[in-house]
Amino acid sequence: MKSHMVWFLFLASFLSVFPAPSESMVRHYKFNVVMKNITRLCSSKPTVTVNGRYPGPTIYAREDDTLLIKVVNHVKYNVSIHWHGVRQVRTGWADGPAYITQCPIQPGQVYTYNYTLTGQRGTLWWHAHILWLRATVYGAIVILPKRGVPYPFPKPDHEKVIVLGEWWKSDTENVINEALKSGLAPNVSDAHMINGRPGLAKNCPSDQGYKLSVKNGKTYLLRVVNAALNEELFFKVAGHLFTVVEVDAVYVKPFKIDTIVIAPGQTTNVLLTASKSTGKYLVTASPFMDSPIAVDNVTATATVHYSGTLSSSPTILTLPPPQNATSVATNFTNSLRSLNSKKYPALVPTTIDHHLFFTVGLGLNPCPTCKAGNGSRVVASINNVTFVMPKIALLPAHYFNISGVFTPDFPKNPPHVFNYSGGSVTNMATETGTRLYKLPYNATVQLVLQDTGVIAPENHPIHLHGYNFFEVGRGLGNFNPKKDPNNFNLVDPVERNTIGVPSGGWVVIRFRADNPGVWFMHCHLEVHTTWGLKMAFLVENGKGPNQSILPPPKDFPKC
């Protein structure tokens, strides 16, 4: 009897350490937000980091796991962290954008983000969502499939996280504050980064690039994140092809390509097979901009280094695409299709309750103190509304019925019809306000996002919090509501959380509003968010037991 009891206790302890294949786990992380002196480009500066690391730590979990991430603010700035692409089903309190779903974590304060990765697997990422702190406060989120569930593509031998970014020698808060004072655009970054390294940098031979060590015949899953503040990037490896298998934590029909384009906020998983016998091969991350707008034109470099290759061996080079290589970007974007398998279906809404048409672009508003801008300030807007950030966060204002914080009257169409993508307008001024668009629970939405040529057309990566959506159509020029829907893809459109609105063109997305709360939508070019290219959806509670926002946590930050 005694031996049976010992065996039972051993088995119980074994199972507690090694959970059953279908059992989800609670995973704990601690993020200490601290200043750290970091040297890049032969120049040092005090830098806001998580746990003293740049880039920050990678979070590892499995589908349906719950994460408890304790964030402790040790710096002088208010802080909040957004878990980019996590659905946050009924847990908007953990979404992270300051003054949208939460008040920020003040200096010396603590907040534990508590959320479940419901039905999600793939690569996402986290970043600061206040001021310009996400310039250095960011990292990857790797969500593995449930135990025993294979990838829908050949299993790779190894996996690597590749996070792309930007680096300023100056304090980025000073960069944006000076720009806001002048009314003009901020200075572009000094370098691009691959896993926190610029690679070969002019005038700074001590800067080392990231080295990806590989073995001949092995296949590597590269989880690529674009954490840059303001720039879309091309990414390629000399002498190798990628097999694209996932974007924004959603599987796609695999296809081979030599160059991917990835906008700020987006993630892309690719398979790289080490098909060469030996050698060192250049990796490049370079800007994509097909409008007359200044960008950081410095290419970040790294190397794919085959085992057995001497460090002194010459690196096999590749040229990055031209900065304005629209055809390269379009080739990649047009190749994306949802897997749409029995296990991973593309549940595209086919009947629509809310037809929305949003223009996205720039404008000019009066600013008497902006001498450099000749009395004007560059702004950005959606449907000509430049969003004003509230002093009280929107989600608690909605949940607790606090009046005077926002109005639920965001326009469903532009206030003025004009030749959006071309031609000049006489009045470039915008309206201002904290206006939300209200959606009933489970409503289906079709949203046309139309770029404007006001000041300059530009590719806008638009990110919707709390949701994935389907890109059912895109094109150049002005959207034609009579002709263009005939070409919509309602079978296997790509599913994303961040979508590039093409320069001088449009994109159409569809989603089902089945997640109650207040959900931010904004351009992921940080300068445009700062200028006001943002709004929020207010999704009402449903009537079912699991269709309402959960109550806020006890340690929820106060304004």
**Adjacency order of strands within the sheet including 431-433:** 431-433, 385-387, 376-382, 354-366, 443-451, 505-513, 469-476, 495-496
Average pLDDT over residues 95-111: 98
Looking up tokens 């304005």, which residue turns up? 324
Q: What secondary structure does DSSP assign to 386-455, as a single string?
A: EE---SS-HHHHHHTT-TTS-BS---SS-SS---TTSS--S----EEE-BEEEE-TTEEEEEEEEE--SS
Name beta bridge partners: 272.
220, 242
- Percent residues over pLDDT 70 in the chain: 96
Give per-residue pLDDT as tens, 416-450.
999 999 867 888 999 999 999 999 999 999 999 99
Measure the CA–CA gap between 301 and 317, rounded to whole angstroms.
10
Q: How confident is the model at residue 14 (pLDDT cuts 50, 70, 90)?
A: very low
Query: Taking 50 as the threshold, does the pLDDT of residue 7 lie above it?
Result: no
What pLDDT does 22 receive?
Answer: 55
Q: Is 196 left (phi over 0), alpha (psi -120 to 50) or beta?
A: left
What pLDDT does 423 receive?
Answer: 67
> How remote is the C-alpha of 177 from its chain's centroid?
23
Using an 8 Å Cβ cutoff, are 392 and 559 in contact? yes
Average pLDDT over residues 551-555: 97
Name beta bridge partners: 415.
none
Residue 324 tokens read as 């304005």
β-strand pairing of 498-501 with 460-464: antiparallel
Cα-based distances in Å from 203 to 42, 109, 368: 8, 41, 41
Exposed/middle/buried for residue 508 (C-beta within 10 Å: 0-12, 13-18, 19+): buried
Cα-based distances in Å from 294 to 12, 230, 458, 533: 62, 11, 11, 19
Of residues 203 and 21, more confidently modeled: 203
Query: Taking 90 as the threshold, does the pLDDT of residue 499 lie above it?
Result: yes
What pLDDT does 347 receive?
Answer: 98
Q: Which residues of 280-294 are buried (b: 16+ CB within 10 A; e: fewer)?
A: bbbbbbbbbbbbebe
Measure the CA–CA gap between 261 and 327, rounded to whole angstroms.
11
What pLDDT does 208 receive?
Answer: 85
> Out of 200-204, 230-234, 411-415, which region has the weakest mean confidence (pLDDT)?
200-204
Going by C-alpha positions, the residue among 527, 520, 499, 503 that lies closest to residue 262 is: 499
- Percent residues over pLDDT 90 in the chain: 91
What pLDDT does 425 receive?
Answer: 83
Who contacts 6 (Cβ-Cβ below 8 Å, separation ≥6)?
A: none
Using an 8 Å Cβ cutoff, are 90 and 461 in contact? no
Cα-based distances in Å from 379 to 196, 366, 430, 448, 530: 31, 10, 8, 21, 8
Q: If DSSP codes are grouped into helix, strand and coil, which group holds residue 330?
A: helix
Using an 8 Å Cβ cutoff, are 218 and 93 in contact? no
Largest CA distance in the chain: 91
- Omega cis (within 30) before 150: no
Residue 316 tokens read as 């096999």
Q: What is the mean pLDDT of the chain?
A: 95
What pLDDT does 5 receive?
Answer: 44
Average pLDDT over residues 387-412: 98
Average pLDDT over residues 470-475: 98
Give per-residue pLDDT as tens, 131-190.
999 999 999 999 999 999 999 999 999 999 999 999 999 999 999 999 999 999 999 999
Give per-residue pLDDT as tens, 238-296.
999 999 999 999 999 999 999 999 999 999 999 999 999 999 999 999 999 999 999 99
Residue 175 tokens read as 């960069």
